[in-house]
Every structure is written in C-alpha cells, then in structure tokens.
Structure 1
Amino acid sequence: MTKGAFYFLLLFSFDVLADNKFSNLLFLDDNQQSPPADLSVIQWLSGHWRGEAFGGLVEEVWSPPLGGSMMGAFKLVVEDQVQFYEIETISEVEDTLIFKLKHFNKDLTGWEEKDKTVDFKLVKVTDNKVYFNGLTIERLSDKEINIYVAIEHEGNTTEEKFNYKRVE
C-alpha cells in the first residue's frame, strides 16, 4: 500500500465535492465561516478505539480536553505490519474548532512538509455528529463511533467510513 492511497485531501475543489452528494460529509463554501464551538461538543471522543479498514486494523487513541485541545494518534496495521501513523489534534481556535493531522510512514518519516498540516475546519455540530470540512465524527453510542473522510486516490474522491468500537 502506498501513502498516496491513504492521503487525506489536501487540495481539491470544494465546489466539485459539494456537487457530489456525499451522504455523511459536509464542506464549507468559500465564504462560509466556521460556527462557534468548544471541545465540550466532542469530549465524548476521548478514549481508545479500534476497527477494521483498508484490509487491516485501525486504531485511534484520543486524550480528554486539556489546554484547549485534544490530541489523537492513529495507525493502520495490515498483516501485522504498521502501514502508517497519524498525529491528530482538535483545537479551540478563535471560538471554533479545527481538526489537524500529520501523516507518518512506519519509520516516522513524515508525508507533509515540515511546517504543514492537513486541516479540517468545523462546518456544523449536531447532537451526535461533528462535521469538519470533509471529515465527520459520529457518536453511535458510548462504545461505538464512525469517522467518515473524503479520500482521494488516483484522481477519484470517495467517502470512506471507519467504524470503531471502544477498547475497554
């Protein structure tokens, strides 16, 4: 598997994506501002989560809110081999939230440039979903979540679903 197969969208046309009816994703219009929010709307994400995707196991661990942010770590393991990692944050910035991440190969060499991150601005908050620009986190219960992400591979953009169960 190549990193390109999993590379979350960095550059794309929001207008084109908005026209493709993704069922669980929302996108900001060019002139649309993120709504006000703080970490209380997503603190339920804290914990250790595991699921299956891309022919292997996926795992995410999220810290509780502290200092205006939550930090997370992701990894994909296929056939007992780590394929890649992500370091993630959800932070309170200017009275709203932003989700940022960086990708790393299994040897921890980075995908993005040194000072670059993949950023997802907040679009909308509902009782059980927090929509970021091209990424949605859905709370099904205290023990199960879905994360939906717009992923580009070979020029095609798809909505990928990651279903996670809480690790007790």
Structure 2
Amino acid sequence: MRTAIILFLFHVGMVSAQETLQLTDGQQSPSATLEDVSWISGHWQGEAFGGIAEEIWSPPLGDSMMFVFKLVKDNKVSFYEIGHIQQVENTMILQLKHFQGDLKGWEEKDATVDFKLVKVEKNKVFFEGFTMELVNENEMNIYVLIEDGDSAEEVLFAYKRVP
C-alpha cells in the first residue's frame, strides 16, 4: 500500500541522479535532532498533478515538527496529508497519514506511513526513500523513490516558499 500511495502523491518529474537512500540490513538510524532540519519550517507551494500542492511546516516544538499538505485541482481539494518529523530518543522519524478531500482516511485508524532517518547533511535530510533538500532560502526539493513491482524510479517534487 505504501508504494501505491507514494506513487500517487509524488509522481511529478523524473530525476536522473539518485537522491534517495535506504538503511542497509541491521543499520540503525543516526543521531540527529529537529534543530538539524528546522530549515524545513515554512509555507511551501508548487504545481503537481495539474493542480496546486501546498505544504505548511511548523518549527520544532514538543519533540516534533508537524505539517499539513493539500492538493487542490480544479478548485477542489483532492486530498490532504497530516504528519510530523518526530524526535525519538536520539534520532528522528517522518510519519504521515492521508485523507480524501472529505477527510476520510486512507490508512487504517492506527496506521501511519513511516520513513526512518538515514542521514542528515547541512540543508538536506535523507529518510528511507524520501529526501528533503533546501536549495536556497525560497526553494525546497523533495525526492521520492517510487517502487512499482520489480522496478523503482525516483521522482522530484519542487516547492517554492510562499511569502
């Protein structure tokens, strides 16, 4: 189910270089704090799926950075996401849930789509199959690895900061 959801959400443009990473068997997520990714905070917007994608991230507070996402197409909300990057002991995890435009959930009640932390660099964070990069103060790229059966391809989702 995770593959289908990611495919639906992020099939925006093909990426030629590999930007996403995975943990190897037995590898643990590295130490990191929310301050390492506080640059994600803000109001971001871009075009996707023939509509407008909007994402709003809070600054770190209470061991998390929460976000909301919506896709508006033909002047109607297609779907929402709500999620967070959560500080868990000495590392982080990205978790999200999806909702239809009428707020009916896609995942089961207690289920989330989880992305474990792989690596943190200045202005770039790698979760399993999901990378966020601050290009400059007003642009952020998200790269997502899409798995479809036996094949996988990486796609790019580009945001611009909303003033």
Q: Do the aligned residues in 1 keep the contact of 2:39 with 2:123 (CA within 8 Å)?
A: no
Q: Structure 2 matches for 1:7-156, cutoff 5 A? A: 7-8=5-6, 23-152=18-147
Shift of 1:151: 3.1
Distance in 1 (alpha carbons) for counterparts of 2:17 and 2:118: 14
TM-score after normalising by structure 2: 0.87
Shift of 1:78: 1.6
Q: Percent identity at matched positions?
A: 56
Structure 2: 5+ residue runs without aligned partners? 8-15
**Residue by residue, what CA displacement relative to the aligned partner does 1:61-113 show, whole Å, maximum 9, x if unpaired?**
00010011000001111221211110010010020010000000101111111
Q: Do the aligned residues in 2 keep the contact of 1:36 with 1:95 (CA within 8 Å)?
A: yes
Q: Return closer, same or farther for 1:55/1:157 CA change in 2, 3 Å cut-off.
A: farther
User: What letter is aligned with 1:49?
Assistant: W
Q: Do the aligned residues in 2 keep the contact of 1:151 with 1:159 (CA within 8 Å)?
A: yes
Q: Return closer, same or farther for 1:4/1:153 CA change in 2, 3 Å cut-off.
A: farther
Asked whether 1:166 is paired with 2:142, we answer no
Aligned length: 155
**Residue by residue, what CA displacement relative to the aligned partner does 1:108-150 show, whole Å, maximum 9, x if unpaired?**
1111110000000000011121000010000011111001112
Structure 1: 5+ residue runs without aligned partners? 10-20
User: What letter is aligned with 2:6?
Assistant: F
Provide the alpha-carbon RMSD of the alignment: 2.2
